[in-house]
Chain A
Amino acid sequence: MIESVAFIDDIRNFLYAGGDVLWVILGVTICLWCLIIERLLFIKQNYPFLRDSCLALWNQRTDKNSAYALFIRQELISEVLIKLNRGVAIIKVLIALCPLLGLLGTVTGMIHVFDVMAVTGTGNARAMAAGISKATITTMAGMVIAISGLYFSKLIEERVSDESHHLADLLKYH
């Protein structure tokens, strides 16, 4: 119990040292990971049903190689792909935004440092430390989130592209 309280305290101190931008990064991180988990769960659980129903619809048809049939096949695949791809672009942009937010944090941290310098001069390194930790912690957080998210984003992209090829293979012309 005490350990968990200390842990929460540590996190609070960390967020406090990082300043406002770190809260934004935290928000972005939560969104990002919710989206990643949602996508992974979707591919794992919902997608097989979707694929099967699509396959069943196709297999119901008697005519499978006329031009109209090809149009319908394309439509079936497209519907599944749109559902499969939903949110992937947002994951990618959130990952791209993380280092930018880190940079923003660096700039606000440097502004803080120069504010302190304007008041106390260059002599007081201790007073400047708060701004410098703001600058560095946000950059680090942005980088960590972006790098860790990048792996999962690539994983999801790979899975989506695999599944779409696989689906196209499954819907046979004969």
Chain B
Amino acid sequence: MRLAISFIFALILAHNAYAGSQDLNQLLRDVKQRQAQERKLNKTREAEFLAEKQNQQQLLQTAKAELAKQEKLRAQLSTQLESNETLLAEMETQLKERSGELGELFGVAKQAAGDLQANLQGSIISAQYPDRIEALTRMTESKALPMISQLENLWFTLQQEMTESGKIVRFTQQIQIPGGERQEAEITRIGAFNALANGGYLNYDADAKILTSLARQPEGKYLDLIDSYRTSDAKKAPLGIDPTRGVMLNMLIQTPDAQERIQQGGVVGYIILLIGALGFLYALLRLSILVATGHKMKQQMHNDTAMDNNPLGRVLIATEQSPSQEVAALELILDEAITREVPNLEKGLSMIKLFAAVAPLLGLLGTVTGMIATFQSISLFGTGDPKLMADGISQALVTTMLGLSVAIPLLFLHNLLASRSKMLVQILDEQSAGLMSRRAGK
């Protein structure tokens, strides 16, 4: 600082040298005066600094004291931490010891809750109590140990499922009808097995949590049971239940009815049915003709005048009109007349027999084409999924079934026709000569 001041002085001196020498005295006075001022100022500042120094010293001492205090505290706390850690470890071991068996127990409880949840999801009883599954889900999904209330709930739900599965309950709830709409209905629930509403069976949709009316109901006799059950006042009434809890009813929707069955048979199936219908109609026609003919022949046997509306009458007329009445000639004429009549009686027999024989053969053809379809699907998709093969297999089986169900009645009808026509031919063959002899009075 002094250096700076002397430098300033030097500058001032240099300046003043130019100004002139008359104010040099003035300048000297000034300098002296300023020096005194400076000294005074410096002293004040020195005093100030000294005072400050003491203050700082005091502050340092306070800080040091504080530090010592904190150090002490730290030591104290770290001891406490250590002791706490030991305590914690001790406690943990204790907890482990004490909850050793309980942990297993809670595991079992959770597992039981999980199983029950899975069971309840498909149970028809859940339709009546839709909220109970959520409580179980909370219990199985939380990591924490189950609360007493949750354990009690598990117990209660199990007991409820058991009790309700032995009850027949009526309640009103929304159901889903096949169109997809929902409507209120009075539901009768039979244990955990079936639910009925509007005279039909219901199915429980676990995903939508709603009872749905079956798209296709079981056979009429099971539906009649529902009606009679609803109206009966007796303590006991018969009713169809599905012990598989819906599996069988579901299967029912998938099983095709008679019409779909026939469609499964394909072209071959329709051909078989056509042959069956033709054969049936023709056989019935022939049967009625033969019955009528037989009736007229019976009448002819007890009638003295020969009529030409039946084979026997025509044969007798032929012998009557014969010019010669010699036995040998008459026999020839008789034979000739009978030979004329026989084809009429046996007409159509071979045709019906052919139909009866062709129907199972066509069934076999359908079986083979069905098997071809099956093997094609095997070569495309492998044998892994039997459902893909089902189409060909049903064609194979349905055509065989159709073939048999056409052949059996046709065979029976053919037999009826054959035995009847055989009887009529027998009458013509063996009795016409006798009748002729009687009429001749011999």
Contact = CB atoms under 8 A, between A and B. Distances in A.
B3 interface: no
B435 interface: yes
A118 B390 contact: yes
A86 B427 CA distance: 13
Contacts of A79: 431
Interface of B: 247, 250-251, 254-256, 261, 327, 331, 386-387, 390, 393-394, 397-398, 400-401, 404-405, 407-408, 411-412, 415-416, 418-419, 422-423, 426-427, 429-431, 433-438, 440, 442
Contacts of B407: 100
A74 B404 contact: no
Contact of B398 (A82, A90, A111, A122): A111
Interface stretch (A5-13, A65-73, A151-159): A65-73
A97 B390 CA distance: 29
Contacts of A90: 415-416, 419
B434 A71 contact: yes
A76 to B, nearest CB: 7
Contacts of A119: 250-251, 254
A115 interface: yes
14 contacts: A69-B437, A86-B423, A93-B411, A97-B411, A97-B412, A100-B404, A103-B404, A107-B401, A107-B404, A111-B401, A117-B390, A118-B254, A120-B247, A121-B386
Contacts, number: 110
A79 B412 CA distance: 25
B423 A82 contact: yes
A127 interface: yes
Contacts of B419: 89-90
Interface of A: 63, 66-69, 71-79, 81-82, 85-86, 89-90, 92-94, 96-97, 100-101, 103-104, 107-108, 110-111, 114-122, 127
Given A68-B437, A93-B412, A115 B404 contact: no
A92 B412 CA distance: 10
Nearest to B328: A67
B404 A93 contact: no
A101 B327 CA distance: 52
A82 B421 CA distance: 12
Nearest to A79: B431
Contacts of B405: 104
Nearest to A93: B415
A97 B423 CA distance: 22
Contact of B387 (A77, A89, A94, A121): A121
A120 B251 contact: yes
Contact of B397 (A78, A86, A89, A110): A110
B235 to A, nearest CB: 20
Contacts of A81: 426
A78 B386 contact: no
B310 to A, nearest CB: 17
B333 to A, nearest CB: 13
Contacts of A118: 254, 386-387, 390, 394
Given A68-B440, A72-B434, A117 B404 contact: no
B256 to A, nearest CB: 8
A35 B388 CA distance: 48
Nearest to A73: B434
Given A73-B434, A81-B426, 5 more contacts: A78-B427, A97-B408, A100-B411, A111-B398, A111-B401
Contacts of B250: 119
Nearest to A63: B442
B386 A117 contact: yes
Contacts of A68: 327, 437, 440, 442
Contacts of B327: 67-68
Contacts of A108: 401
A120 B254 CA distance: 11
A81 B426 CA distance: 10
B434 A75 contact: yes
